Structure 1
Amino acid sequence: MERRELERQIVEKEWLMFQQVQGVNGRAACQDDWTTFLIMRLSQFEGWDTDVLESYFEDIVQAEAQERNLIMEKYAYMMEETDPVYFLSIKELLPEISEEKQLMAEKITSIYMEWEKEADIKYPNIRRHGRPAEGIGVDGTVSVRNYLKCELYTYSSKTLALFILSIEKNPEYNRYLATMQKMVQAYGYSSLEEAEKEMA
């Protein structure tokens, strides 16, 4: 399967899972925004090696066969930070995260947070339109760290191991900036520099 077709199939499967997520306060407006969802997910995959993408596709197919919703699980894991009391009431319903997966997810997240710091310095105007790096935003927005870590928890150990290997093979490649570049291009900017200037 060609890479772009693989990306598209993954996003379409994720979208179907996203449609089934029931928030504490009901359906969220973003669940009706296919265009933004598509841009965000394709932008994220821009920083991935193809073997990581292929492994994640296998994760999704396996999850479908097991009637698991990886998007729901991701948002549920996030609640350990955003709504710890409610999280305790649903924790037993979620797949247990092995120590191995926790360590791999933390390793990837720590690397991404270093890349995020570089993005904050180089493109502060763009970044202030996105998620806070840490903690919870004033409007309840989930942080970059929590969002990424909890998404990684839904990946298989194989996918996480391939992800780490891909980073180690090319440590100078800032995948966070690659995602930002793809995103601003999707919104009509030719470069991060142009977007940064326009958002000042």
Structure 2
Amino acid sequence: MDFENSEGKIKIIKEILEREWQFFQSAQNTGGRAECQDNKEEFLIMRKSQWKTFPLNVLKSYLEDLKEAEKNKSNLVVEKYARMMKYSAPEEYEKIKGFFPEILPEKRETVNQIVKIYLNWEKELMEKYPKLTSKGRVLNSKDDTPEHTSIETYLKGELFSYSFETVTMYLMYIKECIQKNINLAELNIENIIKEKGYTSLEEAESKI
């Protein structure tokens, strides 16, 4: 599996982070600038931890998505948060949905497959590390509020902002992970807590 931080992978992640941060900075919240937009360190920790769980081919494909978006003067970070509003703020979403590309059925099906698998991983994680995961998002979209977005909603918003090519590659990778009994949600949170100074998930669970 592609978890090694090769020089090529580190370079691509760095470029992804730079492009995402620029998109994030230009995102405009209806209530004004969000507090998280001024916390670059936390942004980089969270996004880098996620991208380190991705294989090189998916990272390359997503980087092309970002470049294509810039060329077309669109913003994938804005699109991601807008698509989340379908679940967390449906009335607001109805007013803005026309500004974004229609999601084709095959892409929707691919995303739904990924989300189903990922939510099972998240459930496993919550059972193993209840204290640690209680600090994060709730699991399901049914529990969304305008202020608090679930893992399911966040994941859908993120994946729908990727190209069909990228989500297709990612689903193939996720299926490989299932066969090898690898939980990507656990790897992601392990990357986060190590960035924050813990040596293991067990240590973080005992100290939080």
1:111-150 paired onto structure 2 within 5 Å? 111-134=117-140, 135-136=142-143, 140-150=147-157
Q: Distance in 2 between matches of 1:140 and 1:91?
A: 19
1:37-186 paired onto structure 2 within 5 Å? 37-134=43-140, 135-136=142-143, 140-171=147-178, 172-186=181-195
Q: Distance in 1 between matches of 2:165 and 2:146?
A: 35
Alpha-carbon distance change, 77 to 187 in structure 1, aligned in 2, over 3 angstroms: same
Instruction: Kindly report the root-mean-square deviation, in angstroms, between the aligned alpha carbons of the 2 structures.
Output: 1.3
Alpha-carbon distance change, 25 to 154 in structure 1, aligned in 2, over 3 angstroms: same
TM-score between the two structures when normalised by the length of structure 2: 0.92
CA contact (8 A) 1:131 1:137 kept: no
1:18-37 paired onto structure 2 within 5 Å? 18-37=24-43
Shift of 1:139: 8.0
What is the aligned residue count? 199
Secondary structure of 1:133's counterpart equals coil
Shift of 1:94: 1.2
Query: Aligned partner of 1:140: which letter?
Result: E
Aligned to 1:8: 14
Q: Distance in 2 between matches of 1:84 and 1:71?
A: 19
Secondary structure of 1:5's counterpart equals helix
Q: Distance in 2 between matches of 1:146 and 1:55?
A: 23
Q: Distance in 1 between matches of 2:206 and 2:196?
A: 14
CA contact (8 A) 1:104 1:164 kept: yes
Cα deviation code 1:123-148 (max 9, x no counterpart): 11110111111134678210000000
Shift of 1:192: 0.3
Identity rate, percent:
38
Alpha-carbon distance change, 161 to 137 in structure 1, aligned in 2, over 3 angstroms: closer
Secondary structure of 1:153's counterpart equals helix
TM-score between the two structures when normalised by the length of structure 1: 0.96
Query: Aligned partner of 1:67: which letter?
Result: K
Alpha-carbon distance change, 139 to 193 in structure 1, aligned in 2, over 3 angstroms: farther
Unaligned runs of 5+ in 2: 1-6
Query: Aligned partner of 1:195: which letter?
Result: A
Aligned to 1:188: 197
Query: Aligned partner of 2:69: which letter?
Result: A
Q: Distance in 2 between matches of 1:31 and 1:121?
A: 32
Unaligned runs of 5+ in 1: none
Q: Distance in 2 between matches of 1:137 and 1:77?
A: 13
Aligned to 2:206: 197
CA contact (8 A) 1:73 1:154 kept: yes
